[in-house]
Amino acid sequence: MTLPLVEQFQYGLDAPICLTWELTYACNLSCVHCLSSSGRRDPRELTTAECRAVVDELERMQVFYVNIGGGEPTVRPDFWELVDYATAHDVGVKFSTNGVKITPERARRLAASDYVDVQISLDGATAEVNDAVRGPGSYATALRAMRNLARAGFRGFKISVVVTRQNAGQLDDFKAIADRFGAQLRLTRLRPSGRGADVWDDLHPTASQQRQLYDWLVARGEQVLTGDSFFHLAAYGNPLPGLNLCGAGRVVCLIDPVGDVYACPFAIHESFLAGNVRGPGGFAAVWRDSELFADLRRPQTGGACQACSAYDLCRGGCMAAKFFTGLPLDGPDPECVKGHGEQALAAAAGAPAPRPFGDHSHRSRRAEPVPVSIGRRPDRACDENPLAGFRTPT
Amino acid sequence: MSTQTPPRAAFDLDRPWQLHPQVSVRPERFGALLYHFGTRRLSFLKSPALLSVVRELGDAPSAREACKRAGLTEAELPAYAAGLQTLASSQMIRPREPA
């Protein structure tokens, strides 16, 4: 009965195990490392009816749950309606939020549902460290949301931390915050995706921080979640809990706010675009028939990594991390624990890395919260016209 | 997402069991995926035969009978009892009161 499941997963499943669905590019924050370069809503975003149709498909495909994100998904006026629609159709929801809409009343309603999980983003255990990345006031907003959830009796909500050079020394403090609120800590890897491409050099953990992180995670076992994002660290010796493989296009994928389907949430680039849910056959056809996904599900060669003794453990690491740092996909991860990534980065220095696709950043590009209310859609996809949306005062 | 195996206790093959009502089952080529909406944990059934056993559990008077209905031989029972114990310890299946 012990078939190698990882090998089964490498060749893909009939439906994703979990799916990330970003509902909007609109966000009240401008986090410097945002994986989807979010900020402004895209006028082509899926309508409420189109989102419901996607849920209907996920129900037919028996996708157990979706990870809803953005942007800040809760600023969509139909967000709670869509959550209710999904759970009523046997599609569980875990949504990521900066906490801006988690009022005491909303927290009570969330606590009453078995089929909704909440993940609050926090990138520093102190306001100073967090707000430098996520913007002024964002720490207070996140902590207020956690307090509201805890007071409402919501046990085991997630606190999700992107590990950076600045917060890698705060792991125990993050755990203490999670324990204080009866929450579960989730640590994920910083990728050079979206705006993360611009800050990755300064924010990604150092080699010694990676080693400390690995030891810390091994010691905590299943107490701390990682979303399988640190499987490149398995090359230190032992795999962390989880599947320990790149699931892109095999067991995971991304549906973005305009319905584009990408191999993974960290790979928003035309090279990883498999199709669109608005196309004939919808999401299921993209998942089952896309040439890109078929290609990802073929056995991988390992390329330059094949000679490495750790290849069976790390399998070459993260595709998106390689791609957006300009490294070949069949070579080492830029954060390869054997040091091969640093050599590869040095060798590739000067060669331009591919740029992330589709920037929806706020134009000011400062890490400051901006008031967001979605009412009126932008006039056009590309608001380059300086007079777009301008109304003469009367 | 967990692939770790909890410590083994003896599994009671002679009592009735059932799939936890909050568990959803999705058949796959290798067996099935299980998702528990209460614990929010994912598990795997690593063979189609184990999926057949799990499907029979709710109607059979005992787990032993469910295994028989799924076509298992006596010699295969210990391995499948261990698999069922793993599912019981993660609350994917639970004891059912005899009818």
Tell me what ipTM this predicted complex has: 0.79
Torsion sign, CA atoms A216, A221, A223, A227: positive
Using the predicted structure, report yes or no on whether residue A127 has a pLDDT greater than 70: yes
User: A144 CA to chain B: closest CA distance, Å?
Assistant: 25
Rounded to the nearest angstrom, the minimum Cα separation between B60 and chain A is 22
Instruction: For B66-85, write each residue's pLDDT tens digit.
Output: 999 999 999 999 999 999 99
User: Hunting for tokens 């490392």 — which residue is that?
Assistant: A33
Question: Dihedral, CA atoms, A217, A220, A222, A223, nearest 10 degrees?
Answer: -120
Return the pLDDT at A280. Answer: 95
Q: What pLDDT digit, counting tens, does each position of A216-245 carry?
A: 999 999 899 998 899 999 999 988 887 778
Which residue is closest to A6 within chain B, CA to CA? Answer: B3
pLDDT of residue A291: 96
Q: Distance from B47 to chain A by nearest Cα, in Å?
A: 6
Distance from the A238 Cα atom to the nearest Cα atom in chain B, whole angstroms: 13
Kindly identify which residue of chain B lies nearest to residue A157, measuring between CA atoms: B40
- pTM of this prediction? 0.88
Quote the tokens at residue A370: 């901006």
Residues of A within 8 A of B47 (CB-CB) are: 1, 3
Token pair of A178, please? Answer: 């999670």
Q: What pLDDT does A9 receive? A: 76
Chain A residues lying within 8 Å of B29, measured CB to CB: 8
CA distances (Å), origin A53, targets A50, A278, A281, A293: 5, 10, 12, 22
Chain B residue numbers touching A64 (CB-CB < 8 A):
24, 26, 33, 35, 37, 42
Across the interface, do B1 and A222 touch by the CB < 8 Å criterion?
no
